[in-house]
Amino acid sequence: MEQSGYNTDSASLDAVFSALADPTRRAILLRLSDGEASVNEIAEPFEISQPAVSRHLKVLERAGLIERGIDEQRRPARLKAEPMSAAVDWLNEFSEFWETSFEQLDGLLTQLKQSELKDTDNG
Amino acid sequence: MADLPEYVIDRVFDAPLPLVWRAWTDPELLSRWYGPGVETIIHEYDLRPGGVWRNEMKWGENSDLSKMAFVEVVPEKKIVWHHSSTDKDWNIATNPMMPDWPKVLLTVVTFEEQAGKTRVRLTQTPMDASDAEIACFANMMAGMDKGWGSGFAIIEEILGELQA
């Protein structure tokens, strides 16, 4: 409704995390960061069949992480980085929330200890 | 239920337990460290079971509201609360960035004295969560801990190469 503008993006953010959770799919993405490639070319270095690669590519495509060329024969896969950097940003935001807050708490405790010491000295 | 994904952060602070407890439970001190690099405004802080902590974080033009409902308070030992994002009227709300993010996180903070220092352990687990919410949180945790192995490094490498 009022947030409908977000929904396509954010629904895919969940799909992005699922897609990235698999080591083969991450390796495929790494391969594609060198440039577009066909299923054959992608399957070559892996010990898995072309149909298996095709299945992984479908998952990546659904998550918006790659797009496939229209060329019926080759259908080269191409990396799309935006959803991945959105996922990484989100992940960093959550993990850094407490990490950074705890660092700030550490700094505050040091300040508080120093001011308590001063109070004791003066008193 | 035993398999719910869990976020854990465990730290030892070089300060005596009463001081650390004060930094967590005095809203004036709490607002000085809670929230990374943001201005934190504590609108209400009623530390007792059934009491509520209403928190606002501001950065630039943005404002992020959350509500923590305390369920257990053991002085200098433990605080338990239900942690939720809220809309501007403090009603529990879905995160617009991540609709499957758990609406309520059970948050447990424990404090333990260790030779003049203080160990603080905080855990968060999804509460009354749907399967989708649990899966979403589990994916996040898998990304954060070492379970992903070099996964995260690979993603950063990919993004780095693309930016180069």
Report the C-alpha gap between B89 and B149 in whole angstroms.
Answer: 41
Q: What ipTM score was computed for the predicted complex, to two decimals?
A: 0.86
DSSP letters for chain B: -TT---EEEEEEESS-HHHHHHHHH-HHHHHHHSSTTSEEEEEEE--STT-EEEEEEEETTEEEEEEEEEEEEETTTEEEEEEEEB-TTS-B---TT-TTS-S-EEEEEEEEEETTEEEEEEEEEE-S--HHHHHHHHHHHHHHSGGGTTHHHHHHHHHHHHH-
User: Please, what is the average pLDDT of chain A?
Assistant: 82
Interface touch A112/B29, C-beta < 8 Å: yes
Interface touch B151/A85, C-beta < 8 Å: no
Looking at the complex, report in whole angstroms how far the Cα of residue B35 sits from the nearest Cα belonging to chain A. 5
Interface touch A14/B32, C-beta < 8 Å: no
* pLDDT confidence of residue A58: 94
Closest CA to B109 of B9, B2, B3: B9
Interface touch A17/B136, C-beta < 8 Å: yes
* pLDDT confidence of residue A84: 78
Residues of chain A with Cβ-Cβ distance to B148 below 8 Å are 21
Report the C-alpha gap between B151 and B154 in whole angstroms.
Answer: 5
Interface touch B96/A85, C-beta < 8 Å: no
Closest CA to B141 of B102, B94, B86, B96: B102
* pLDDT confidence of residue B99: 77
pLDDT score of B146 more than 70:
no
Looking at the complex, report in whole angstroms how far the Cα of residue A107 sits from the nearest Cα belonging to chain B. 8
Q: Within an 8 Å CB–CB cutoff, is residue A92 touching chain B?
A: no
Looking at the complex, report in whole angstroms how far the Cα of residue A71 sits from the nearest Cα belonging to chain B. 24
* pLDDT confidence of residue A8: 43
* pLDDT confidence of residue B157: 72
Chain B nearest-CA residue for A24 = B151
Looking at the complex, report in whole angstroms how far the Cα of residue A80 sits from the nearest Cα belonging to chain B. 10
How much of chain B exceeds pLDDT 70, in percent? 87
How much of chain B exceeds pLDDT 90, in percent? 67
Burial degree of B125 (CB within 10 A; 0-12, 13-18, 19+): buried
Q: Within an 8 Å CB–CB cutoff, is residue A30 touching chain B?
A: yes
pLDDT digits over B84-138, tens only?
999 999 999 987 667 788 999 999 999 999 999 999 999 999 999 998 889 888 8
Residues of chain B with Cβ-Cβ distance to A17 below 8 Å are 136, 139-140, 142-143
Of A50-54, B69-73, B116-120, B152-156, the range with the lowest mean pLDDT is B152-156
How open is the CA angle B137-B138-B144, to the nearest 5 degrees? 90
Please say whether the beta carbons of A90 and B139 come within 8 A. Answer: no
Chain A nearest-CA residue for B137 = A14
CB pairs A-B closer than 8 Å: 126
pLDDT digits over A72-108, tens only?
778 899 998 887 777 777 777 887 899 999 999 999 9
* pLDDT confidence of residue B89: 95
Q: Within an 8 Å CB–CB cutoff, is residue A48 touching chain B?
A: no
Nearest neighbour of A10 by CB, restricted to B19, B97, B159 = B97
Cα→Cα distances B54→A25, A33, B9, B62, B86, Å: 41, 44, 22, 17, 9
